[in-house]
Amino acid sequence: MPLVALTGGIASGKSTIARRLAEHGAVVIDADALVRDLQQPGTPVLAAIAAEFGDGVLTADGALDRAALGALVFGDRDRLAALNGIVHPAVKAESQRRFRAAFDADPRAVVVYDVPLLAEARGTGEWDTVVVAHAPADVRVARMVEHRGMSEDEARARIANQVPDEERLKLADVVIDTSGSLDDTLVQTDALWERLRAEG
């Protein structure tokens, strides 16, 4: 019953690894989706965000305007810290609830928490295994330009706004090198699955 943290910088191939593990039977809990759930209209988290940042971060129908909120916190450490102070405790509590539910449903489950900001949140204590998806910055920039329509400058700014790769790699029990072909990544992910099942 391993609890696995899967992390990686933007365009690192982390989602490909998560999908493959899910195909094998892992219970994948997506931190980004969890955050979106917690920020739906009517939730305490969205109310707290609006109280902190003003109604300008809400759309006309009361949903979170992610672009408006992003414009306020991007590059502003104090505003970002205020946002994280609202969101992170709620995410931690809900993720813990979902982990427990997954293991209650199947004590032998492999539970994978797909969490982009593991290094930023300094969350290393509770995991049986930390898996880092890794590719050099130039490879990730090329992916963002090709697949996400970003300019090279935009892509490099996104990478620069995350923790350095070295910090993320320090957390790793397993590194999956995603800089090669898709098949290469899947072969490494399949080997990881076998290891996790053996540990379970």
pLDDT digits (tens, 9 = 90+) for 36-58: 999 999 999 999 999 999 999 99
pLDDT for residue 183: 97
How many domains would you assign to the chain?
2
The residue written with tokens 């935009």 in the block is 154
Structural domain boundaries enclosing 84: 37-96
Residue 61 has pLDDT above 70, yes or no: yes
Of 99, 134, 118, the C-alpha closest to 26 is 99
pLDDT for residue 93: 92
pLDDT in tens, 109-130: 999 999 988 887 655 568 999 9
Burial 153-164 (b: 16+ CB within 10 A, else e): eebbebbeebee
pTM of the model: 0.88
Among residues of the chain, what percentage have pLDDT more than 90? 83
pLDDT for residue 74: 81
CATH classification of the domain holding 165:
3.40.50.300
Higher-confidence residue: 24 or 120?
24
pLDDT for residue 199: 80
Rounded to whole angstroms, how far apart are CA atoms 110 and 173?
16
66-95: average pLDDT: 91
Compute CA 126 distance to the chain's CA centroid, rounded to the nearest angstrom.
16
Answer whether 29's CB lies under 8 Å from 48's CB: no
Q: Is residue 103 part of a domain?
A: no
What token pair was written down for 68?
Answer: 């408006």
Q: Is residue 104 part of a domain?
A: no
Q: Is residue 65 part of a domain?
A: yes
Q: Is residue 32 part of a domain?
A: no
Q: For residue 22, which amino acid is it?
A: A
- Among 13-17, 72-76, 107-111, 186-190, name the one with the lowest average pLDDT: 72-76
Same domain, 20 and 114: yes
Other beta carbons less than 10 A from residue 96's beta carbon: 11
Q: Is residue 191 part of a domain?
A: yes
pLDDT for residue 120: 73
First to last CA, the chain: 5
- Among 23-37, 53-67, 70-84, 119-133, name the one with the lowest average pLDDT: 119-133
pLDDT in tens, 127-167: 999 999 999 999 999 999 999 999 999 999 889 888 899 99
Q: Is residue 200 part of a domain?
A: no
